[in-house]
Amino acid sequence: MNRDAYAHVARIGKAISSGNRLELLELLAQAEQSVDSLSRLSGMGVTTVSAHLQVLKGAGLVRTRRDGTRIHYRLAGPEVAGLFVAMKNMAARVLPGLSAIDGEKDSGSGRDDSVPLIRTIEEIREAYMLDVRPAHEYQAGHYPGAASIPLDGLASRIGEVPRDRRVIVYCRGEFCLLARDAARLMRGQGIDAYAMDEGVLEWRASGDVDLTATA
């Protein structure tokens, strides 16, 4: 028969059947990244990351570019982000009780209830959009008009955030906690801050938002 056909498609499935690899894909959806940059961002060992990247590459989901001594990985295309989101949606639809994000929002330690989530893009008008991802990721593509203050430096740069407007913070995507942490920090300082429930991963997947890059 054509047994191979299924096995062949299953390779894509295998590539996305590991939580660690999904985390790497989410990072790659932000910007191209070198192996050790991914290692630092994810906390996995370098050789572990390399091994996972080989699997992703073998399945055709990522491409590489050599720049001197280091190798930069990137998504093979926006459809890969699309597949991630499709799986995320499927998980939410089909295992609602266990929804990872709900778990994070509701059950968890409960402290996240203090950060209201913005769910529609309409609410963005007139608000101050703030990107709290690392500068490198901001440069590779960000929401049009958004400002950049990486979470690292937010405490010391808090003065740059306007106090007379609503502030909406976003980060890598629904699973990323940077925006929520940032919003919590700002609320503690009396700023009217909200965390966006989606981020660059979802925008890249949908293609609806044109993510401006900086030179």
Beta-carbon count within 10 A of 143 CB: 22
Out of 35, 44, 71, 83, which residue is the one contacting its own copies (CB under 8 A)? Answer: 83
Q: Which of residues 173-192 bind its own copies (CB under 8 A)?
A: 175, 177
Assess 36 for contact with DNA (CB under 7 A). Answer: yes
Assess 23 for contact with its own copies (CB under 8 A). Answer: yes
Phi and psi dihedrals of 128, rounded to 5? Answer: -90, 110
Radius of gyration of the chain (CA): 18
Assess 188 for contact with DNA (CB under 7 A). Answer: no
Judged by beta carbon distances under 5 to 8 A according to partner kind, the member of DNA, its own copies, none in contact with residue 175 is: its own copies
Assess 42 for contact with DNA (CB under 7 A). Answer: no
Assess 86 for contact with DNA (CB under 7 A). Answer: no
Assess 135 for contact with its own copies (CB under 8 A). Answer: no
Of 183, 153, 157, whose CA–CA distance to 170 is shortest?
A: 183
Assess 206 for contact with its own copies (CB under 8 A). Answer: no
Taking a C-beta distance cutoff of 8 angstroms, is the pair 130, 166 a contact? no
What residues act catalytically?
171
Binding span for DNA by CB under 7 A among 29-37, 124-132, 161-169, 194-202: 29-37
Assess 79 for contact with its own copies (CB under 8 A). Answer: yes
Judged by beta carbon distances under 5 to 8 A according to partner kind, the member of DNA, its own copies, none in contact with residue 71 is: DNA
Beta-carbon count within 10 A of 93 CB: 9
Binding site for DNA (CB under 7 A): 14, 17-18, 20-21, 34-37, 44-48, 50-55, 64, 66, 68-72
Binding site for its own copies (CB under 8 A): 1-23, 26, 59-61, 76-77, 79-80, 82-84, 86-91, 93-95, 98-101, 103-104, 175, 177
